[in-house]
Amino acid sequence: MTKTMPRIGATTIWALALLLSLARYASGQSAPNSTTPFRDATGHQPLEIGAIVQSGFGVTENRDDFKFLMAGVHAGKVLTDNLGHGPLRGNFEYAVEVFPFWQSYTPKFQRPTCINPPGTVPVCSPFYTVGGTFSGITITPIILRWNVVGTKRFSFWGQAAGGLLWTNHKYPAFGGPPYNEQNDGPNADASVWNFTPQGGVGVHYFLRPRRSLDFGANAVHISSASLGDRNPGVNASVQFSLGYTWWK
């Protein structure tokens, strides 16, 4: 686990540096009276597409040493005019996210695979290593977002979303000593497919009328819905995102 932390830090720093460089360039080109597209008096319902990096950690049970890092794209379309009154006046947006780079860094441990027919002594394989780094791809095809109109430069949002995760190994690993037929039997395994229901909040900071730097915080649940023999999952993780968006 300790070997993966420098990789997480270095990758995150490079990604942040790239996004911040884009933001600095755009800010240098911005007009002093920059305004969000949600304050457009013509009633235009904008389209957005952007680059995003996200990183976080597990927060429940024995998942607090799970770490996450991903990079991908976000695309969305505002579907309504501004609705309501007061500080929550805003619009409804439908969006999707795709992370072709997804990694989870988990503890390594030893486990056997055992056969234990009724009335017999368990027969187990030699111990082997499981856990470590998992790589995958995740897509979130349903993001339901409420954008607050906000000020000339700031717009906050809240969202609920659901996605699908594929990993190169059954995720997460589990089992190990002491022997337990539920966790170490021949049919005790997770799944390469997991679902990712989630919800979060964030803010757009508009550097120009059609350019924004985006910050978000998501609570993400990872579960196979029992597609595998077992469903250890990650009950909750907290993940923070940084993105740069072009609005049309």
What does the pLDDT average to over 128-140? 95
Q: Over 60: is that where the pLDDT of 32 sits? A: no
What does the pLDDT average to over 158-163? 98
Q: Which of 211, 248, 197 is closest to 28 using CA atoms?
A: 211
Q: Over 90: is that where the pLDDT of 34 sits? A: no
Quote the distance between the C-alpha of residue 30 and its chain's center.
Answer: 30
- Tell me the range of 40-44, 57-61, 85-89, 225-229 where mean pLDDT is highest: 85-89
Q: Over 50: is that where the pLDDT of 83 sits? A: yes
Domain 4-247 class, CATH top level:
mainly beta
pTM reported for the whole predicted model: 0.82
Q: Among 29-38, 103-112, 192-201, which is the least confidently predicted range?
A: 29-38
- What pLDDT score does 26 carry? 44
C-alpha–C-alpha distance, residues 93 and 209, integer Å: 18
- Quote the mean pLDDT of the chain: 86
- What pLDDT score does 13 carry? 52
- What pLDDT score does 10 carry? 52
- Output 215 or 44, whichever has higher pLDDT: 215
Quote the distance between the C-alpha of residue 210 and its chain's center.
Answer: 25
What does the pLDDT average to over 214-238? 92
